[in-house]
Amino acid sequence: MRRRRLGREIQAHYLYFVLYSILGWCYEVFLEVVVYRWGFSNRGVLFGPWCVVYGFGALILLLTLGPLQRRPVRVGKISITPVLVFLGIVAVTTVVELLASYIMEWTAGEWLWDYTRFAWNFQGRVALNPSIRFGIGGMVFLYVLQPLFRRLTDSMDDRLLAAVTGGLAALMAADVVYTFLLK
């Protein structure tokens, strides 16, 4: 029973990873096409419509800040938990983005963004403005989207969850093979 619950939790987290990777890709494409009007380009490292850095970032936020989000922290009668969660999201996403830029540079020779035009940037890899935006997006993710996704996975029976995550894992594995070995 315990192993089944652990397996289900791993499958649910993989599904969250994929969902947030896809949402991250949509966000990046929206910025590029609608906000900046640069035109469309695939904003992910892989061929498919997913930015895995968003998926990894979301999982890291769930694991590191989920417990804080559920624990009320008060100063007097005022709950400061959302403020602490926001600051945590800004810190975690900034570190994730910085590490991702170094990993991409090491593996591909470059990273996919340049924040030199923003004030308070570090080597064009991270900057205060995008970090604040990730903080706002992270709040939407933790307080709005994640409860919906949790209800979605909780409503799926074991076989359906296994089939969906297995299919998505096969698609992503094929994408990794195509992107890094065949392309």
Share of the chain above pLDDT 90, in %: 67
Whether residue 181 is contained in a domain is answered as no
Query: Is the distance from CB of 51 to CB of 43 less than 8 angstroms?
Result: yes
Whether residue 182 is contained in a domain is answered as no
Range of the domain at 24: 2-174
- pLDDT over 90 at 64, yes or no: yes
Counting the structural domains of the chain, the total is 1
**DSSP structure string for 130-176:** HHHHHHHHHHHIIIIIHHHHHHHHHHS-HHHHHHHHHHHHHHHHHHH
Distance CA 24, CA 29 (A): 9
- The reported pLDDT for the residue numbered 152 is 95
Whether residue 61 is contained in a domain is answered as yes
Q: What average pLDDT does this structure show over 29-56?
A: 83
Whether residue 131 is contained in a domain is answered as yes
Q: What is the pTM of this model?
A: 0.85
- The reported pLDDT for the residue numbered 48 is 86
- pLDDT over 80 at 62, yes or no: yes
Q: What average pLDDT does this structure show over 113-128?
A: 92
Whether residue 179 is contained in a domain is answered as no
- pLDDT over 80 at 171, yes or no: yes
Q: What average pLDDT does this structure show over 44-68?
A: 89
Whether residue 114 is contained in a domain is answered as yes
Whether residue 146 is contained in a domain is answered as yes
* Phi, psi dihedral angles at 46 (to 5 degrees): -90, 170
**Element at 108 (helix H, strand E):** helix 81-108
Q: What average pLDDT does this structure show over 147-157?
A: 95
Place of tokens 């910085």: 98
**DSSP structure string for 60-95:** HHHHHHHHHHHS--EETTEE-HHHHHHHHHHHHHHH
Whether residue 91 is contained in a domain is answered as yes
- The reported pLDDT for the residue numbered 160 is 96
Nearest to 54 by CA among 36, 62, 11, 175: 62
